[in-house]
Amino acid sequence: MLLIRAIVRPEKKDELLQELTAAGFPAATVVDVVGRGKQKGIRMGNLVYDEIPKTLVLVVIHDEEKSAIIDVILKTARTGESGMFGDGKIFVSPIEEVYTISRGGRGL
The pLDDT tens digits for 23-44 are: 999 999 999 999 877 767 777 7
Q: Above 90 in pLDDT, residue 47?
A: no
C-alpha span between 57 and 31 (Å, rounded): 7
8 Å CB contact between 41 and 49: yes
| Residue that wins the pLDDT comparison between 36 and 63 | 63
Query: Model's pTM, two decimal places?
Result: 0.87
Residue in 60, 56, 45 with CA at minimum distance from that of residue 9: 56
Q: Above 80 in pLDDT, residue 10?
A: yes
Domains in the chain: boundaries: 2-106
C-alpha span between 83 and 1 (Å, rounded): 29
C-alpha span between 29 and 78 (Å, rounded): 20
Domain 2-106: which topology? Alpha-Beta Plaits (3.30.70)
Cβ-based neighbour number of residue 103 at 10 Å: 8
